[in-house]
Amino acid sequence: MLDPELLIALVAAAVGAGFVDSIAGGGGLITVPVLMLAGLSPEQALATNKVQGSFGAATAAVSYARSGLVDLRAQLPAAALAFAAGVAGALLVSALPTQALRVVLPVVLIGIALFFALKPGLGDLDRAARLTPAVFGLTVVPAVGFYDGLIGPGAGAFYMMGFVTLAGYGILKATAHTKLLNFASNIGGLTAFALTGHPLWIVGLAMGAGQMLGALIGARLALRVGARVIKPLLVVTSTALALRLLWQML
């Protein structure tokens, strides 16, 4: 059992992670390393991160839905696919060459950061979609959901990239639509991890309270400021995640 001071520090980290995650994704950049520094094994850290992260994603999804930016009921079929893909990814962690994927990921994340930093005209206005909602839901959603269950960090950025480049959504609308899918694939991965007994539930639930607070603050800020805060934070978190993955390989 963690001592109270350490648990308070973990909850504080979860507040910051919930704030970042509700705007641009990448909250796992904060919570996974902190959990490992607290003495959890990598498996326990990833599983416990799924517990606490689910609260933040759910809170952000509800906040954006209340603002009228997203219809959560209309997203349920896509969320079901994300959930199933998250389960599949988590169950196949030991069977697939995830290390090879980790080599490619930093390059992809740097590409995402450069896209949002340098692409002109990216704002909160929608553009022409390249995929129909049905095709997007059957391809992009399960692909990112599978990654979320398999590895996890950065899934929010991948959902965002898909919504902006392929669904034609403005940045704020894309952020809003990302959250339910992120929640669903997170829960899918957690379901698989729960079967192995890895999550530390008390720690995860305590951090979940911090996630909810951070997500509420972050979603309200994003709703007020929109792309002006989402774009820079997405660039920073994508770059930070790429650098962290590169550091892990050294």
Q: Which range has the worst mean pLDDT, 117-131, 181-195, 216-230?
A: 117-131
Say whether pTM exceeds 0.95.
no
**What does the block give as tokens for 111?**
């590409």
Number of residues in the chain: 250
What is the structure's pLDDT at 102? 67
Q: Above 60 in pLDDT, residue 1?
A: no
Q: Taking the CB of residue 25, how many other CB atoms lie within 10 A of it?
A: 29
**Which burial class, exposed, middle or buried, applies to 84 when counting CB atoms under 10 A from its CB (0-12, 13-18, 19+)?**
middle
Write out the H or E segment, with its range, that includes residue 27. none
Handedness of CA 16, 226, 65, 175 (dihedral sign): negative
pLDDT at 97: 67
pLDDT top residue among 126 and 101: 126
Name the nearest CA neighbour of 80 among 178, 215, 183, 199: 183
Tokens describing residue 123: 């704002």
Handedness of CA 72, 78, 81, 87 (dihedral sign): negative
Contacts of 176 (CB under 8 A, 6+ apart): 64, 65, 67, 69, 70
Per-residue pLDDT tens for 40-97? 887 788 889 999 999 999 999 999 999 999 999 999 999 999 999 999 998 887 777 6
Quick: pLDDT tens for 159-172: 988 999 999 999 99
